[in-house]
Every structure is written in structure tokens, then in C-alpha cells.
């Protein structure tokens, strides 16, 4: 099909006869010819053409619903990606999209946890990526006057520094020995709301603060849910004194209550990792969930040289779980 009214001696095909991509270039060419006929400069045409050109790479498309955005609760979906023209670093960019989605869910769970904090309370502040959102929220509510007259006890040097930067009033258990609520994350959560904590290295202070609290609000994402503690096959930490650490590592490995575990000294580069309390950490790894967490906790604590362990049993009163389907609150 050709145009019969064109002044040119060369017949031009109609745009609809081209492939859709070719149509774009054909129409651009026609636009350029028209502009030149009207005396427009080439730079104007170049800018108009550039505006419609897609560059190589990947374009994200995400849909997220957050708490309070609409009636019925909270839900979110991980990001999907659309390739526009050329192959790119899709794995890293997809991982970034998923991570952003998980962080948004953690933030919503943390904000939900802060709803348990009321003016006049004494509050324990946890350690870790999820707890950091809660600390930030407490600082925000203090700043805008929603919360007043609260005092917080941090569970690590890192949390103390974050809280100080936000102007949150701080104290220690020496000054405030009884707390109303503690908010913290966890590394594993079983169906009974028993948890493993301490992969961030703050297990001793976390346990002290949370045992001193009337309630312990635990915040996790759904990847932390396990059928039994130790079931993630990741570290269950035990804080030990530096003195004769190899001796204590071998004794931990030999305990019948944790039979079959692998015991490793936690390292920080080429040197042993040192906690805020100047201790070492031995990480225990399990192929199967611990058969009896209570017996394991008792046996580990009975060893001289053990400061504390990452089994937090019968401590959580409320667990807030952030997942792909939203935020769930479980009360014990």
C-alpha cells in the first residue's frame, strides 16, 4: 500500500505496514523532515528523538501496600522487573528490589511494635536491622510530641549511638531496673515463640534488658520462622570469656544436649570477634533442630566460662511477623 499524494517521486509505505518498533523510527524520520521543512534547527529534532529513546538496562515495577494504607490490614509484594532492551546485571538489581521490599515490611512491623510504647514508659531498645527501625520511630514520636516522658535502655553500643543521635533519653539497668516493654528482633522463632538471638553479638545485654521488661515485643520477617530452634542451620551463639576459649569451645561441642553440632569461634577478619562486654562468641551450627531447647540451655549455662547463650525461652510475649502477605501479630 503506497501514498498517492506524496510529492516525492519515491513512494513511501504507510506507518501501519511496519513492525511496531519500526513505526517509531519511521514516524521520527517523518517528524524530522516536517520540522526541517518549517525551518527548525537540528538540535530541536535531536532532543525530541532522544526523549523517546529507551536506554539499555532493567526497569523496576513494584506494588506495595503498607500498614494503614487501606482498610483490612497490610500486604506487600516483592518487586518484579521488566527488561527494556539489553541484558544487564539482573541478579543484583532483582536482589535489591527484594531487599527494599523486605526492609519496608520490617519498617512496618517495627512501627507496629512501637504502638506498644506509651508516654511515661521505660523501654528497652533492641539491636539489629529491624530494631533500628523501631528506635528511629521512637525518636520521631518523641520529636513530634506524640510520646513524652519516656526513658530507654539500649542493648548495645550501636543502639546507644543511634538513640543518642535522635535525642532519646537513655539510662542503664542500674538506674532503671524495671522496664515496661522491650522491642527487639530475633534470628529464629519457633511455634511456641521461643527464639534464638545474638547473631549480631549483643545477646548478653539483650537478654538482661528483656528479662527486666514486663513485656517483650519481638519483630521478625517470615524467613526467621522455624519448626524448631537451630532449624535454620545458622549460628546459635554462646558468649564465653576469652580465657581458655578453646577449652570451652570443646566442652560446648561435647555436650550431649547439643550432640552433633559444629562449634566455631566467631571471627572478625583475622581476629576473634569481641562483644561489647569484651567476650568471645562460639557459634553452634545444627543440621537438625535442637531436640530439647530447655535441656540445651541448662547444660550450656552450667559450664564455667560461659557468660550466656542465644536461646531466649519463654520470654517473648508478642511477636510481630512481617511477610509477603503483610504483618501478623501473635500474642503468647
DSSP letters for 158-188: HHHHHHHHTT--B--TTT---EEEEEEE-SE
Among the listed residues 188, 206, 210, 239, the single catalytic one is: 206
Residue in 318, 322, 332 with CA at minimum distance from that of residue 117: 318
Q: Hey, which residues does 61 pair with through a beta bridge?
A: 80
Q: Which of the 8 DSSP states describes residue 115?
A: T
Residue 115: active-site member: no
CA dihedral 329, 157, 129, 108 (to 10 degrees): 40
Query: Which residue is it, cell 512481617?
Result: 322
Instruction: Return the sign of the alpha-carbon dihedral for residues 100, 101, 107, 113.
Output: negative
Which residues, 6+ apart, have CB-to-CB distance to 330 below 8 Å?
193, 318, 319, 320, 321
Query: Which residue is it, cell 506487600?
Result: 76
The C-alpha cell that represents 287 in the structure block: 543440621
DSSP letters for 13-68: B-GGGS-HHHHHHHHHHHHHHHHHHTT--HHHHHHHHHTTPPPSSEEEE--B--TT
Q: Which residues are designated catalytic?
A: 206
Amino acid at each position: 500500500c503506497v501514498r498517492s499524494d506524496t510529492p516525492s517521486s519515491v513512494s513511501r509505505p504507510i506507518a501501519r505496514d511496519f513492525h511496531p518498533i519500526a513505526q517509531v523510527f519511521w514516524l521520527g524520520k517523518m517528524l524530522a523532515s516536517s520540522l526541517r521543512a518549517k525551518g527548525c534547527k537540528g538540535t530541536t529534532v535531536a532532543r525530541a528523538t532522544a526523549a523517546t529513546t529507551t536506554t539499555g538496562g532493567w526497569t523496576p515495577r513494584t506494588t506495595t501496600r503498607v500498614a494503614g494504607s487501606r482498610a483490612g490490614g497490610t500486604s506487600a509484594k516483592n518487586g518484579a522487573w521488566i527488561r527494556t532492551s539489553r541484558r544487564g546485571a539482573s541478579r543484583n538489581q532483582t536482589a535489591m528490589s527484594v531487599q527494599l521490599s523486605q526492609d519496608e515490611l520490617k519498617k512496618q512491623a517495627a512501627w507496629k511494635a512501637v504502638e506498644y510504647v506509651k508516654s511515661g514508659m521505660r523501654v528497652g531498645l533492641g539491636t539489629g536491622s529491624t530494631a533500628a527501625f523501631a528506635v528511629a520511630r521512637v525518636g520521631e514520636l518523641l520529636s513530634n510530641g506524640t510520646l513524652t516522658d519516656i526513658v530507654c535502655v539500649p542493648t548495645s553500643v550501636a543502639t546507644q549511638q543511634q538513640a543518642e543521635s535522635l535525642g532519646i533519653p537513655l539510662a542503664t539497668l542500674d538506674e532503671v531496673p524495671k522496664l515496661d516493654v522491650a522491642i527487639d528482633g530475633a534470628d529464629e522463632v519457633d511455634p511456641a515463640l521461643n527464639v534464638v538471638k545474638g547473631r549480631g553479638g549483643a545477646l548478653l545485654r539483650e537478654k538482661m534488658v528483656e528479662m527486666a521488661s514486663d513485656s517483650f515485643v519481638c519483630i521478625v520477617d517470615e524467613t526467621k520462622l522455624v519448626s524448631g530452634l537451630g532449624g535454620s542451620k545458622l549460628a546459635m551463639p554462646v558468649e564465653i570469656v576469652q580465657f581458655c576459649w578453646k577449652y570451652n569451645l570443646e566442652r560446648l561441642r561435647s555436650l550431649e544436649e547439643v550432640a552433633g553440632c559444629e562449634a566455631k569461634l566467631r571471627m572478625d577478619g583475622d581476629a576473634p570477634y569481641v562483644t561489647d562486654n569484651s567476650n568471645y562468641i562460639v557459634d553452634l551450627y545444627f543440621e537438625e533442630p535442637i531436640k530439647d531447647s530447655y535441656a540445651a540451655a541448662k547444660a550450656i549455662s552450667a559450664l564455667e566460662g560461659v557468660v550466656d547463650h542465644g536461646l531466649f525461652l519463654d520470654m517473648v510475649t508478642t511477636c510481630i511477623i512481617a511477610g509477603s502477605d503483610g504483618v501478623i501479630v501473635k500474642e503468647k
